[in-house]
Amino acid sequence: MSAEKADLERDFAIGEWLVSPALNQISRNGTSTRVEPKAMQVLVYLADHPGVVSKDQLISAVWADVFVSDDVLPGCISALRKAFEDRARCPRIIETIHKGGYRLLVPVEPVGRNGQKRKQAAWPDLWRPFRSRRLPAMLGLVMACAILTVAFTGIFSKTRYDSVAVLPFVNAAADSTTQYLSDGIAEQVINDLSGLSGLRVMAWTTVSRFRQPQIDVGAAGRDLGVKAVFTGRLARQGERIVLQAELVDVGHGALLWGQRYERSVSEIAGLEQQLSRDIATHMRVRLADEENDRMLHRYNAVPAAYELYLKGRFFWAKRTKQGLHQGIEYFEQAIGVDPNYALAYAGLADCYNLLDDWGDSAPRDSFPKARAAAVKATFLDPSLAEAHASLAMVRAGYDWDWVGAEQEFKQAIELNPNYPTAHQWYGLVLAAEGRFPEAEAQVKRAQKLDPLSPIINMAVAEVYGWERRDEQAIEQYRKVIALDPSFAGAYGNVSYLYWQKKLYSDALAAIEQKWNLSGDPAFARALEHAYSASGYKAVIRKQLDRVLEERANGQYADAAGIAGYYAELGEEGNALRWLEKAYQDHSSGMQFLGVSPDFDTLRSHAEFDYWLGVVGLLPLPGLQVGHSQHVS
């Protein structure tokens, strides 16, 4: 073990204070305070060097070969003074020397293993080799290092970074209250940076999976395919929060910038804006005037409303009936706390947009509510990408207004090119029109922004299925299931692809798993019995009978889905009759008539072409028989 290592691990006393470098702890009379490791290294260096130590000397020793901003060292000194209950104007422990540096005012004494001070002729000098007879050689080495450092820093000073991942902050206290706070700050920074056209920002749903106290930042950055990673460690002390932040170059593992922030809880919005601006500055991102203005003047919600919004998005992302209804509750609560919170209205619209597909709600009930919430969101904040994407979904899924939907999607993406959901939904709408190359580009853009999102990865599989690229679709569904084995929708979709390829055992296993995950294992067993008795078409018939019974009992069941079941069973007359009912219901499934393999057996019917025309679609020649259900 080196002398420096040994010294850093040994306790020492400064007056009546006990310093434990190995624990990053300063204590007195049974009360202890932990400081950041860099602050402790500053203290150890001051203890090892009696007298005045210059700022440059401290920075060179503690942050060797790393560029840091001017306020990093004062931040560490401030943290040490707080731990020592010291004051800059009337110092008792650490004194600031104007234009000179810092010095300790109290003698440093070694402490033995029993915790008692022990006499020693002199404090061990770790830098003695620099004053030995090898001084000329050492000076030469120092000069060479300085030249290399300047050159190394020069490389980074000219580098512009076009991609970043903001990882979840480490929660120093490991309590749920601080966790919501730290997550909220990180996600808002992601939202702010996502609006910058020159920067690709990884989505929160992807980076949130890298929630670990100790993480290899370089490995995480390489996994995410970004050039820089931003990390932080957040601690809450009453009504104040302290954030130690670092921006790391993934390729070289070098610290591009680091800074300590200390704010009151009421100043969180200002901290988020400051972090976003500082990251953009140190990544050398060129901001357009409107981007800078948007970042400076975004609406800051009431903190309690923001926390409710985060919970609403969490449940919305589950894509289950229960999750959507829970999301609606949280978004409505957020609006109750802050009636001018546009993001909460956009979240509410997104839940209602998906209710007919995932929540068994009649479109004529849910979509008007989605429209009202989306319009309110755009009124409160016309620059909010989420609001325009929500309105685009209403235009496509309920109005079948393809031109209006595309305009809203384009505006959403222009406002926030890093919003994955806008790319995902836009890709599905493009695919519905048969514009497959454009559709694939959009869903893959969404996938690049949020590579670990099951729902976005499933959108890629959908587009493959609609293009009749069944092998690629099956492979992509397998990846979705690997990402989230509890995602019921993926099993339902892939089961039909297996059936079309006559992989009946795989198809049965997938559809049983869908119903098991949906909370109905008895129905899963009933499907198995139907298959054993009459083959896989009996499985389709069993599911059709179930939704017909639900509909007869007054529950909503998608008429377009019922038409699809009839078409698959070869009952074309029934299928066409249910398409008429789907039109009357304004089913969002009607938007996929042109591409869904469910309806391939109907494509030679003039009546089918009529319904395509009613929703503004054209027949797409050359589609082969296959199957894939849609997802949004």
* One-letter amino acid for residue 404 of the chain: G
Question: How many CB atoms lie under 10 A from the CB of residue 307?
Answer: 20
Helix and strand numbers (H, E) in the chain are 27, 13
Q: How many other C-beta atoms can be found within 10 angstroms of the C-beta atom of residue 20? A: 17
Note the pLDDT of residue 59.
Answer: 85
The predicted-structure confidence for 482-508, as pLDDT tens digits, reads as follows: 999 999 999 999 998 999 899 999 999
**pLDDT grade, residue 536 (50/70/90)?**
very high
Determine the residue type at 416: N
What would the pLDDT profile of 556-592 be if each residue is shown by its tens digit? 999 999 999 999 999 999 999 999 999 999 999 999 9
Confidence of residue 6 (pLDDT cuts 50, 70, 90): very low
Task: End-to-end CA distance of the chain: give it in Å, rounded.
Answer: 58
Judge whether residue 465 has pLDDT over 80: yes
Element (H, E) at 82: helix 72-83
Q: Supply 51's token pair.
A: 């007298």
pLDDT band of 115, cuts 50, 70, 90: low
In the 8-state DSSP scheme, what is residue 452?
A: T
> For residue range 301-339, what is the model confidence (pLDDT) as tens digits?
787 888 788 788 888 888 888 899 999 999 999 999 999
Per-residue confidence (pLDDT) for residue 132, from 0 to 100: 44
pLDDT, position 548: 96
Task: Determine the Cα–Cα distance for residues 94 and 416; give it in Å rounded to an integer.
Answer: 47
Q: What number is the average pLDDT over the span 161-180? A: 81
| Mean predicted lDDT score pLDDT of the chain | 85
Give the model's pLDDT for residue 170: 86
Say whether pLDDT at 513 is over 90.
yes
Query: What is the mean predicted confidence (pLDDT) over 333-354?
Result: 95
Residue 151: is its pLDDT beyond 80? no
Place of tokens 């033995």: 112
Strands 163-166 and 200-201: parallel
Where do we find the tokens 């499933």?
458
Q: What is the C-alpha separation between 497 and 466, in angstroms, rounded?
A: 11
Helix/strand/coil for 564 = helix
Which pLDDT value is given to residue 134? 47
| 17 pLDDT above the threshold of 60 | yes
Give the model's pLDDT for residue 4. 40
pLDDT average, residue stretch 7-16 = 75
DSSP 497-542: HHHHTT-HHHHHHHHHHHHHHTT-HHHHHHHHHHHHHH-HHHHHHH
CA 152, 154, 158, 164 torsion: positive or negative? positive
Structural contact between residues 469 and 628, judged by C-beta atoms closer than 8 angstroms: no
Give the whole-number percent of the chain exceeding pLDDT 90. 48
Let me know: does 258 contact 247? Beta carbons within 8 Å.
Answer: yes
- 156 versus 35: the higher-pLDDT residue is 35
Domains present along the chain, CATH in parentheses: 3-126 (1.10.10.10), 163-298 (3.40.50.10070), 315-417 (1.25.40.10)
The closest alpha carbon to 105, from 29, 151, 52, belongs to 52
Round to whole Å and give the CA distance between 230 and 258. 10
* Residue 276 pLDDT exceeds 70: yes
